[in-house]
Amino acid sequence: MKSITLLPNTHRNCNVIMIVFPFDEEIKQHIKLLPEVKWSRTLSSFYIISSKGNLHLLFTHFRRKKWLVDYQKLRKEVTRPLKERYKLVLPQLSEELNSELIRFKKWLQQKRLSENTVNTYTEVTAFFLRYKILKKVEPYSVKLIEQFNYDFIYKANRSVSYQNQCINGVKKFLLFKNLEINPLSIERPKKEKQLPAVLSIDEIKAIFNNLTNLKHKTLLSLLYSGGLRIGEALNLRVEDIDSKRMLIHVKQAKGKKDRYTLLSVSFLKLLREYYLAYKPKIYLFEGQNKKQYSNASAQAVLKKALKKTKITKRVTLHTLRHSFATHLLENGTDIRYIQELLGHNSPKTTMIYTHVTNTSLNNIKNPFDEL
Protein backbone atom coordinates (compact mmCIF):
# COMPACT_ATOMS: atom_id res chain seq x y z
CA MET A 1 0.00 0.00 0.00
CA LYS A 2 1.30 3.46 -0.89
CA SER A 3 1.84 5.74 2.08
CA ILE A 4 1.89 9.50 2.55
CA THR A 5 3.14 11.42 5.60
CA LEU A 6 1.68 14.76 6.68
CA LEU A 7 4.08 16.99 8.60
CA PRO A 8 3.61 20.40 10.25
CA ASN A 9 5.79 23.31 9.15
CA THR A 10 5.77 27.06 8.52
CA HIS A 11 6.22 28.68 5.11
CA ARG A 12 6.10 32.39 4.25
CA ASN A 13 4.83 33.14 7.76
CA CYS A 14 1.96 30.66 7.47
CA ASN A 15 1.33 27.34 9.20
CA VAL A 16 1.34 24.67 6.50
CA ILE A 17 0.99 20.90 6.12
CA MET A 18 3.82 19.26 4.18
CA ILE A 19 2.86 16.26 2.03
CA VAL A 20 5.82 13.88 2.06
CA PHE A 21 6.09 10.61 0.13
CA PRO A 22 8.70 8.44 -1.63
CA PHE A 23 8.78 9.53 -5.26
CA ASP A 24 5.78 8.09 -7.06
CA GLU A 25 4.38 9.55 -10.28
CA GLU A 26 0.81 8.44 -9.51
CA ILE A 27 0.84 10.14 -6.10
CA LYS A 28 2.41 13.27 -7.61
CA GLN A 29 -0.24 13.58 -10.34
CA HIS A 30 -3.06 12.87 -7.89
CA ILE A 31 -1.84 15.63 -5.56
CA LYS A 32 -1.68 18.08 -8.48
CA LEU A 33 -5.43 17.64 -8.94
CA LEU A 34 -5.92 19.77 -5.82
CA PRO A 35 -5.55 23.47 -6.73
CA GLU A 36 -5.06 24.32 -3.04
CA VAL A 37 -1.81 22.33 -2.94
CA LYS A 38 1.40 24.12 -3.97
CA TRP A 39 5.01 23.06 -4.52
CA SER A 40 7.75 24.79 -2.52
CA ARG A 41 11.38 24.77 -3.61
CA THR A 42 12.31 25.99 -0.13
CA LEU A 43 10.62 23.05 1.60
CA SER A 44 11.29 20.65 -1.31
CA SER A 45 7.77 19.42 -0.78
CA PHE A 46 4.13 19.84 -1.72
CA TYR A 47 2.23 21.79 0.93
CA ILE A 48 -1.18 23.19 1.80
CA ILE A 49 -2.23 25.90 4.26
CA SER A 50 -2.87 24.30 7.65
CA SER A 51 -6.55 24.20 8.56
CA LYS A 52 -9.16 21.61 9.55
CA GLY A 53 -10.88 22.05 6.22
CA ASN A 54 -7.70 21.44 4.23
CA LEU A 55 -6.78 18.44 6.39
CA HIS A 56 -10.20 16.93 5.69
CA LEU A 57 -9.70 17.73 1.99
CA LEU A 58 -6.42 15.77 1.93
CA PHE A 59 -7.91 12.77 3.74
CA THR A 60 -10.89 12.65 1.37
CA HIS A 61 -8.64 13.00 -1.68
CA PHE A 62 -6.24 10.21 -0.65
CA ARG A 63 -9.03 7.95 0.64
CA ARG A 64 -10.32 7.61 -2.91
CA LYS A 65 -7.09 5.79 -3.74
CA LYS A 66 -7.14 3.82 -0.46
CA TRP A 67 -3.64 5.04 0.41
CA LEU A 68 -2.24 5.08 3.94
CA VAL A 69 -1.96 8.57 5.47
CA ASP A 70 0.34 9.03 8.49
CA TYR A 71 -0.54 12.19 10.42
CA GLN A 72 0.79 11.34 13.90
CA LYS A 73 3.28 14.22 13.98
CA LEU A 74 0.56 16.58 12.82
CA ARG A 75 -1.59 15.66 15.81
CA LYS A 76 1.24 16.19 18.28
CA GLU A 77 2.31 19.53 16.85
CA VAL A 78 1.58 22.56 18.97
CA THR A 79 0.94 25.43 16.61
CA ARG A 80 3.67 28.01 16.99
CA PRO A 81 2.46 31.60 17.27
CA LEU A 82 3.22 33.56 14.14
CA LYS A 83 4.42 37.13 14.14
CA GLU A 84 1.80 39.72 13.52
CA ARG A 85 2.10 40.79 9.92
CA TYR A 86 0.37 42.87 7.35
CA LYS A 87 -2.48 40.96 5.75
CA LEU A 88 -3.86 41.68 2.31
CA VAL A 89 -7.09 39.87 1.45
CA LEU A 90 -7.31 39.39 -2.31
CA PRO A 91 -10.50 38.55 -4.23
CA GLN A 92 -10.73 35.41 -6.37
CA LEU A 93 -10.07 35.48 -10.10
CA SER A 94 -12.94 35.73 -12.50
CA GLU A 95 -13.51 32.87 -14.93
CA GLU A 96 -12.15 35.02 -17.76
CA LEU A 97 -8.91 35.88 -15.93
CA ASN A 98 -8.52 32.30 -14.78
CA SER A 99 -8.69 31.16 -18.41
CA GLU A 100 -6.14 33.79 -19.35
CA LEU A 101 -3.86 32.55 -16.57
CA ILE A 102 -4.07 29.02 -17.98
CA ARG A 103 -3.10 30.34 -21.43
CA PHE A 104 -0.20 32.22 -19.84
CA LYS A 105 1.01 29.01 -18.17
CA LYS A 106 0.92 27.15 -21.50
CA TRP A 107 2.84 30.03 -23.10
CA LEU A 108 5.54 29.73 -20.43
CA GLN A 109 5.73 25.97 -20.99
CA GLN A 110 6.24 26.55 -24.71
CA LYS A 111 9.25 28.69 -23.78
CA ARG A 112 10.72 25.49 -22.29
CA LEU A 113 11.14 27.01 -18.84
CA SER A 114 11.54 24.57 -15.96
CA GLU A 115 8.42 23.23 -14.25
CA ASN A 116 9.27 25.06 -11.02
CA THR A 117 9.75 28.38 -12.85
CA VAL A 118 6.48 27.97 -14.76
CA ASN A 119 4.55 27.22 -11.54
CA THR A 120 6.17 30.12 -9.67
CA TYR A 121 5.53 32.69 -12.42
CA THR A 122 1.93 31.49 -12.76
CA GLU A 123 1.36 31.72 -9.01
CA VAL A 124 2.77 35.24 -8.60
CA THR A 125 0.91 36.46 -11.70
CA ALA A 126 -2.31 35.14 -10.20
CA PHE A 127 -1.65 37.27 -7.10
CA PHE A 128 -0.98 40.30 -9.33
CA LEU A 129 -4.24 39.80 -11.25
CA ARG A 130 -6.20 39.39 -8.01
CA TYR A 131 -4.58 42.60 -6.73
CA LYS A 132 -5.70 44.34 -9.92
CA ILE A 133 -9.30 43.29 -9.19
CA LEU A 134 -8.94 44.58 -5.62
CA LYS A 135 -7.83 48.00 -6.86
CA LYS A 136 -10.62 48.11 -9.45
CA VAL A 137 -8.40 49.49 -12.20
CA GLU A 138 -8.74 48.57 -15.85
CA PRO A 139 -5.48 49.25 -17.72
CA TYR A 140 -2.13 47.84 -16.64
CA SER A 141 0.14 50.66 -15.52
CA VAL A 142 3.43 51.39 -13.83
CA LYS A 143 1.52 52.76 -10.85
CA LEU A 144 -0.43 49.50 -10.43
CA ILE A 145 2.75 47.41 -10.56
CA GLU A 146 4.51 49.69 -8.07
CA GLN A 147 1.51 49.52 -5.71
CA PHE A 148 1.48 45.72 -5.98
CA ASN A 149 5.21 45.65 -5.26
CA TYR A 150 4.71 47.81 -2.16
CA ASP A 151 1.46 46.35 -0.76
CA PHE A 152 1.86 42.66 -1.56
CA ILE A 153 5.63 42.28 -1.16
CA TYR A 154 7.24 45.07 0.87
CA LYS A 155 4.53 45.65 3.51
CA ALA A 156 4.09 41.90 3.95
CA ASN A 157 7.87 41.64 4.56
CA ARG A 158 8.40 38.99 1.91
CA SER A 159 11.91 37.95 0.98
CA VAL A 160 14.08 39.57 -1.69
CA SER A 161 14.10 36.28 -3.62
CA TYR A 162 10.30 36.19 -3.67
CA GLN A 163 10.18 39.84 -4.73
CA ASN A 164 12.44 39.02 -7.68
CA GLN A 165 10.19 36.12 -8.64
CA CYS A 166 7.14 38.40 -8.55
CA ILE A 167 8.81 41.03 -10.73
CA ASN A 168 10.01 38.39 -13.19
CA GLY A 169 6.55 36.81 -13.34
CA VAL A 170 4.74 40.12 -13.95
CA LYS A 171 7.23 41.12 -16.66
CA LYS A 172 6.71 37.77 -18.40
CA PHE A 173 2.94 38.26 -18.22
CA LEU A 174 3.20 41.72 -19.81
CA LEU A 175 5.33 40.18 -22.56
CA PHE A 176 2.69 37.47 -23.02
CA LYS A 177 0.02 40.20 -23.33
CA ASN A 178 2.28 42.08 -25.77
CA LEU A 179 2.03 45.18 -23.58
CA GLU A 180 4.73 47.82 -23.34
CA ILE A 181 4.61 49.91 -20.20
CA ASN A 182 7.21 52.64 -20.22
CA PRO A 183 9.03 53.46 -18.16
CA LEU A 184 8.84 50.19 -16.18
CA SER A 185 10.85 51.50 -13.24
CA ILE A 186 10.68 48.43 -11.00
CA GLU A 187 14.08 46.79 -10.86
CA ARG A 188 15.05 43.52 -9.29
CA PRO A 189 16.40 44.24 -5.79
CA LYS A 190 19.85 42.96 -4.97
CA LYS A 191 20.05 39.90 -2.77
CA GLU A 192 22.00 39.93 0.45
CA LYS A 193 25.50 38.62 -0.18
CA GLN A 194 25.88 35.78 2.28
CA LEU A 195 28.84 33.43 2.35
CA PRO A 196 27.95 29.74 2.03
CA ALA A 197 28.35 27.39 4.99
CA VAL A 198 31.28 25.03 4.47
CA LEU A 199 32.05 21.77 6.25
CA SER A 200 35.55 20.73 7.21
CA ILE A 201 37.00 17.38 6.07
CA ASP A 202 36.43 15.98 9.57
CA GLU A 203 32.80 17.10 9.52
CA ILE A 204 32.28 15.48 6.11
CA LYS A 205 33.75 12.25 7.49
CA ALA A 206 31.49 12.44 10.54
CA ILE A 207 28.39 12.68 8.34
CA PHE A 208 29.43 9.74 6.14
CA ASN A 209 30.41 7.63 9.16
CA ASN A 210 26.89 8.04 10.52
CA LEU A 211 25.28 6.69 7.36
CA THR A 212 24.65 2.96 7.66
CA ASN A 213 22.39 2.59 4.63
CA LEU A 214 24.51 1.90 1.50
CA LYS A 215 22.21 3.83 -0.87
CA HIS A 216 22.11 6.86 1.43
CA LYS A 217 25.87 6.88 1.87
CA THR A 218 26.45 6.56 -1.88
CA LEU A 219 24.08 9.43 -2.71
CA LEU A 220 25.58 11.92 -0.24
CA SER A 221 29.11 10.84 -1.19
CA LEU A 222 28.26 11.58 -4.83
CA LEU A 223 27.07 15.08 -3.99
CA TYR A 224 30.36 15.86 -2.25
CA SER A 225 32.81 13.98 -4.51
CA GLY A 226 31.28 15.38 -7.72
CA GLY A 227 30.16 18.79 -6.48
CA LEU A 228 26.65 18.11 -7.76
CA ARG A 229 23.36 19.82 -7.12
CA ILE A 230 20.79 17.39 -5.70
CA GLY A 231 18.64 17.64 -8.85
CA GLU A 232 21.66 16.76 -11.00
CA ALA A 233 22.45 13.70 -8.87
CA LEU A 234 18.86 12.42 -8.95
CA ASN A 235 18.68 12.87 -12.74
CA LEU A 236 21.84 10.84 -13.34
CA ARG A 237 21.36 7.64 -15.30
CA VAL A 238 23.50 4.54 -15.06
CA GLU A 239 25.19 5.24 -18.39
CA ASP A 240 26.27 8.73 -17.23
CA ILE A 241 29.07 7.20 -15.14
CA ASP A 242 32.20 6.93 -17.32
CA SER A 243 34.58 4.78 -15.26
CA LYS A 244 37.10 4.51 -18.11
CA ARG A 245 37.67 8.26 -18.25
CA MET A 246 36.85 8.70 -14.53
CA LEU A 247 34.21 11.32 -15.31
CA ILE A 248 30.53 11.88 -14.55
CA HIS A 249 28.45 13.24 -17.42
CA VAL A 250 25.93 15.77 -16.06
CA LYS A 251 23.26 16.31 -18.71
CA GLN A 252 20.95 19.31 -19.14
CA ALA A 253 21.71 20.80 -15.73
CA LYS A 254 20.96 24.38 -14.66
CA GLY A 255 20.79 26.59 -17.74
CA LYS A 256 20.15 23.49 -19.89
CA LYS A 257 23.88 22.81 -20.12
CA ASP A 258 25.88 19.57 -20.19
CA ARG A 259 29.18 19.25 -18.36
CA TYR A 260 31.61 16.71 -16.95
CA THR A 261 32.72 16.49 -13.35
CA LEU A 262 35.17 14.30 -11.45
CA LEU A 263 34.60 10.62 -10.64
CA SER A 264 36.59 9.87 -7.50
CA VAL A 265 38.54 6.60 -7.35
CA SER A 266 37.39 6.01 -3.76
CA PHE A 267 33.81 6.87 -4.63
CA LEU A 268 33.87 4.48 -7.62
CA LYS A 269 34.58 1.59 -5.24
CA LEU A 270 31.57 2.59 -3.13
CA LEU A 271 29.45 3.07 -6.26
CA ARG A 272 30.26 -0.44 -7.55
CA GLU A 273 29.30 -1.92 -4.19
CA TYR A 274 26.03 0.00 -4.32
CA TYR A 275 25.34 -1.07 -7.92
CA LEU A 276 25.77 -4.75 -7.11
CA ALA A 277 23.45 -4.44 -4.11
CA TYR A 278 20.64 -2.38 -5.69
CA LYS A 279 21.03 -2.99 -9.45
CA PRO A 280 19.43 0.27 -10.65
CA LYS A 281 17.89 -0.01 -14.11
CA ILE A 282 17.46 3.53 -15.44
CA TYR A 283 18.27 6.19 -12.88
CA LEU A 284 21.39 5.75 -10.77
CA PHE A 285 19.27 6.29 -7.66
CA GLU A 286 15.79 4.79 -7.71
CA GLY A 287 13.08 4.68 -5.08
CA GLN A 288 10.06 2.43 -4.87
CA ASN A 289 8.90 0.70 -8.06
CA LYS A 290 12.19 1.71 -9.73
CA LYS A 291 11.04 5.32 -9.96
CA GLN A 292 13.42 8.25 -9.61
CA TYR A 293 14.56 8.89 -6.02
CA SER A 294 12.96 11.98 -4.49
CA ASN A 295 14.49 15.23 -3.28
CA ALA A 296 12.50 15.01 -0.04
CA SER A 297 13.92 11.56 0.72
CA ALA A 298 17.47 12.83 0.16
CA GLN A 299 16.87 15.77 2.50
CA ALA A 300 15.55 13.38 5.15
CA VAL A 301 18.68 11.23 4.82
CA LEU A 302 20.98 14.19 5.52
CA LYS A 303 18.84 15.42 8.39
CA LYS A 304 18.95 12.00 10.04
CA ALA A 305 22.75 11.78 9.68
CA LEU A 306 23.24 15.29 11.09
CA LYS A 307 21.30 14.39 14.24
CA LYS A 308 23.96 11.80 15.04
CA THR A 309 26.83 14.28 14.68
CA LYS A 310 27.71 17.33 16.78
CA ILE A 311 27.65 19.68 13.81
CA THR A 312 25.85 22.91 14.73
CA LYS A 313 26.14 24.65 11.34
CA ARG A 314 23.05 25.03 9.18
CA VAL A 315 23.76 22.25 6.70
CA THR A 316 21.80 21.42 3.55
CA LEU A 317 22.47 19.08 0.65
CA HIS A 318 23.90 22.07 -1.23
CA THR A 319 26.46 22.52 1.56
CA LEU A 320 28.20 19.37 0.29
CA ARG A 321 28.65 21.06 -3.11
CA HIS A 322 30.00 24.23 -1.44
CA SER A 323 32.42 22.13 0.59
CA PHE A 324 33.65 20.29 -2.53
CA ALA A 325 34.50 23.60 -4.24
CA THR A 326 36.16 25.09 -1.15
CA HIS A 327 38.30 22.03 -0.50
CA LEU A 328 39.44 21.98 -4.15
CA LEU A 329 40.48 25.63 -3.85
CA GLU A 330 42.32 24.97 -0.58
CA ASN A 331 44.20 22.14 -2.30
CA GLY A 332 45.46 24.56 -4.96
CA THR A 333 43.07 23.78 -7.83
CA ASP A 334 42.82 26.61 -10.38
CA ILE A 335 39.54 28.44 -9.94
CA ARG A 336 38.83 28.18 -13.68
CA TYR A 337 38.76 24.37 -13.41
CA ILE A 338 36.45 24.63 -10.39
CA GLN A 339 34.15 26.87 -12.44
CA GLU A 340 33.92 24.17 -15.15
CA LEU A 341 33.32 21.37 -12.65
CA LEU A 342 30.50 23.31 -10.94
CA GLY A 343 28.94 24.47 -14.21
CA HIS A 344 29.05 28.19 -13.37
CA ASN A 345 28.47 30.63 -16.25
CA SER A 346 30.63 33.31 -14.74
CA PRO A 347 33.88 33.11 -12.74
CA LYS A 348 32.34 35.73 -10.44
CA THR A 349 29.99 33.06 -9.08
CA THR A 350 32.92 30.75 -8.34
CA MET A 351 34.96 33.55 -6.77
CA ILE A 352 32.73 33.44 -3.68
CA TYR A 353 34.73 30.41 -2.52
CA THR A 354 37.84 32.54 -2.22
CA HIS A 355 36.09 34.24 0.71
CA VAL A 356 35.52 31.03 2.68
CA THR A 357 38.78 29.18 2.09
CA ASN A 358 41.19 28.88 5.01
CA THR A 359 44.35 28.73 2.89
CA SER A 360 44.76 32.45 2.27
CA LEU A 361 43.46 33.52 5.67
CA ASN A 362 45.89 31.27 7.52
CA ASN A 363 48.83 33.02 5.81
CA ILE A 364 47.85 36.37 7.30
CA LYS A 365 49.60 37.21 10.56
CA ASN A 366 47.22 38.67 13.12
CA PRO A 367 48.64 41.90 14.66
CA PHE A 368 47.24 40.87 18.05
CA ASP A 369 49.87 38.11 18.16
CA GLU A 370 52.58 40.81 18.19
CA LEU A 371 51.37 42.31 21.47
**Per-residue pLDDT tens over the stretch 249-303:** 998 877 778 899 999 999 999 999 999 999 998 999 988 777 888 888 888 889 8
Residues annotated as part of the active site: 229, 254, 318, 321, 344, 353
What CATH architecture applies to the domain 201-361? Orthogonal Bundle (1.10)
The type of residue at 108 is: L
Q: What pLDDT, on the 0 to 100 scale, is given for residue 360?
A: 59
pLDDT tens readout for residues 119-163: 889 999 999 999 999 998 888 888 888 888 888 888 877 777 788
CATH class as words, domain 95-176: mainly alpha
CATH of 3-76, one of 1.10.10, 3.30.420, 3.30.780, 1.10.287: 3.30.780
Could you tell me if 79 and 10 are in contact, meaning their C-beta atoms sit under 8 angstroms apart? Answer: no
Give the pLDDT confidence score for residue 219 in this predicted structure. Answer: 94
Q: List 46's β-bridge partners, or say none.
A: 19, 39
Fold match flag (95-176 vs 201-361): no
Domain borders along the chain are: 3-76, 95-176, 201-361
166 φψ region: left (φ > 0), alpha (ψ -120 to 50), beta (else): alpha
**Angle, CA 9 vertex, CA 34 and CA 298 arms, to 5°:** 85
Query: How buried is 22 (Cβ within 10 angstroms: 0-12 exposed, 13-18 middle, 19+ buried)?
Result: middle
Q: What are phi and psi of 353, to 5 degrees?
A: -75, -15
Mean pLDDT for all residues in the chain: 84
The predicted structure's pLDDT at residue 160: 79
Amino acid code (one letter) for 22: P
pLDDT per residue rounded down to tens, the chain (371 residues): 788 999 888 887 788 899 998 888 889 989 988 888 999 887 888 999 988 888 888 988 888 888 888 888 776 554 444 444 556 788 888 889 899 999 999 999 998 888 888 988 999 999 999 999 999 888 888 888 888 888 888 887 777 778 888 888 998 999 999 887 665 555 555 655 667 788 889 999 999 999 989 999 999 999 999 999 998 999 999 999 999 999 999 988 777 788 999 999 999 999 999 999 999 989 999 887 778 888 888 888 898 888 888 888 888 899 999 999 889 888 888 888 888 888 888 778 788 777 666 655 566 565 556 64
For residue 168, give Cα distances in angstroms to 44, 97, 188. Answer: 21, 19, 8
